[in-house]
Amino acid sequence: MTKVKSLADLKKMKEELQAKIEVREKGEVSENLVQIKVAMATCGIAAGAKPIMEFLIDELDKRGINAVVTQTGCMGYCYAEPTIEVKLPGKDPVIFGYVDKKKADEIIEKYIKNGELVDGIIPTNYETIDNK
Amino acid sequence: MKDLSLHILDIVQNSVVALATSIQITIEKNLQKDFITLTISDNGKGMDKAFLERVTDPFTTTRTTRKVGLGIPLLKLNAERTGGNLAIQSELGKGTIIKATLIPSNIDCLPMGDVAGTISLLICSNPTINIEFTYMEDKKEYSICTRDIQESLEDVSIDNAAVYPLVKELIQSNLEELQIRNLG
């Protein structure tokens, strides 16, 4: 990959990017995407949520999974940080706690790809953070 | 927090929650005069006087999910630990400016950390907020903002996952160049 050094370089990369995005997003609306929220309040950041978020963005891209990774605030599970909320299309959101890179990898491979549940789910009658 | 960039990531969340549409993040590093300042200013909803007085108290928070708010107190601690300080100005309805000053020669001063990663994460995950980032080291300066990046990307959305690594690389290479020029 050529190095991006200026906004002009970024502009050049755009077409390449566009082609990549189009192939993947064909016919998909955001409801059909995997949505991941990483808890990034003080507690999450201190526990290492930033490297986990970067890992998720990188790996999902590498593994060709079309997902939206966003930040969210504290979900109230400070003891279990880093926590992430994963919402598969058509399913209720699930929160995973104590997510390190190994766990994140497991979540991608098992839960996101195959819908298999993995250890570390925080069980609640949970609604997504935005509705709280 | 392990480094200063994580503090920035944390404090900027306050501006996001305060519904800011424009956030300026400025880092100024001056090793000759021995100071680092981190300034984050936003046009969010601001704080009233009573809240402003309590805001460095760890038991002050606007959250409902927990009773403590440690973002500002931790930054204050880390600044004061080096002999520096933390100043906050805020006006209800206008916005907030928070400025931390640290003394880099002090052994307790935290390292900068992954500034490029932090800034690009903030820019890419808050597409509706115009984030302006400025880094100053001695007399050299680099700045970039959400709007410029979005303009270069045209119709590709800035929050697309494929964009993040590019933005990070852009900021990283510019910051590196700044530092190399300073050494030479």
C-alpha–C-alpha distance, residues A44 and A66, integer Å: 24
Nearest Cα residue to A36 out of A95, A102, A100: A95
On whether any CB of chain B is under 8 Å from the CB of A107, the answer is: no
Contact B166 A13 (CB under 8 A): yes
Contact A71 B121 (CB under 8 A): yes
d(CA A18, CA A20): 5
**Residue to test with chain B: of A3, A5, A10, most B Cβ within 10 A:** A10
Q: Are A105 and A59 in contact (CB under 8 A)?
A: yes
Supply the pLDDT for residue B67. Answer: 75
Answer for the pair A97, A80: CB distance below 8 angstroms, yes or no: yes
Looking at residue B99, its amino acid is K
- Determine the distance in angstroms separating the CA of B33 from the nearest CA of chain A, rounded to an integer: 30
pLDDT of residue A25: 58
Per-residue pLDDT of chain B (184 residues; tens, 9 = 90+): 899 999 999 999 999 999 999 999 999 999 999 999 999 999 999 999 988 988 888 888 887 777 778 899 999 999 999 999 999 999 999 999 999 999 999 999 999 999 999 999 999 988 999 999 999 998 889 999 999 998 888 888 887 778 888 899 999 999 998 887 666 5
| A8 close to B (CB below 8 A) | yes
In SS3 terms, B60-121 reads as: CCCCCCCCCCCHHHHHHHHHHHCCCEEEEEEECCCEEEEEEEECCCCCCCCCCCCHHHHHHH
For residue A73, give the nearest of B9, B17, B177 by CB distance: B17
- The whole-angstrom distance between B4's CA and the closest CA on chain A is 11
Residue of A nearest to B115 (CA): A50
Pick from B9, B125, B149: CB nearest A70? B125
Our CA-based measurement puts residue A76 at a distance from the nearest CA of chain B, in whole angstroms, of: 5
Contact list, B128 vs chain A (CB under 8 Å): none
| pLDDT for the residue numbered B1 | 87
Whose CA is closest to A42, among B98, B57, B12?
Answer: B12
Query: With contact defined as beta carbons under 8 Å apart, do B51 and B157 qualify?
Result: no
Cα-to-chain-centroid distance, residue B11: 7
Query: Which residue in A7, A13, A74 is closest to B63 by CB distance?
Result: A74
Beta partners for B91? B95
Cα–Cα distance between A51 and A13 in angstroms, integer?
Answer: 25
Domains of chain A, residue spans: 29-131
Q: Give the pLDDT means over successive 10-residue stretches in chain A (132 positions).
A: 79 78 58 87 93 92 86 86 92 91 94 89 66 54
Task: Tell me if A14 and B159 make a contact (CB, 8 A cut-off).
Answer: no
Does residue A26 belong to the interface with chain B, where contact is any CB pair within 8 Å? no
* pLDDT at residue number A130: 61
The 10s digit of each residue's pLDDT in B42-61 is 999 999 998 898 888 888 88
Please answer whether residues B85 and B35 qualify as being in contact, where contact means their C-beta atoms are separated by less than 8 angstroms: no
Per-residue confidence (pLDDT) for residue A6, from 0 to 100 = 87
How high is the pLDDT of residue B56?
A: 87
Other CB atoms within a 10 A radius of the CB of residue A98 amount to: 15
Residue from the list B65, B71, B149 with its beta carbon closest to the beta carbon of A10 = B149
Q: Does ipTM come in above 0.85?
A: no
Q: State the distance between the two ends of chain B, measured CA to CA, in whole angstroms.
A: 32
Domain ranges of chain B: 4-112+129-145
List the single residue in B13, B151, B155 with the smallest CB-CB distance to A41.
B13
For residue A5, the chain B residues in CB contact (below 8 A) are 170, 173-174, 177
Q: What is A29-131's CATH number?
A: 3.40.30.10
CA-to-CA separations, B98 to A85, B11, B17, B77, in angstroms, rounded: 30, 9, 15, 14
> In this complex, do A76 and B66 lie within 8 Å of one another by their Cβ atoms?
yes
The answer to whether A82 and A39 are in contact (CB under 8 A) is yes
Q: What is the pLDDT of residue A11?
A: 84
Class of domain B4-112+129-145: alpha beta
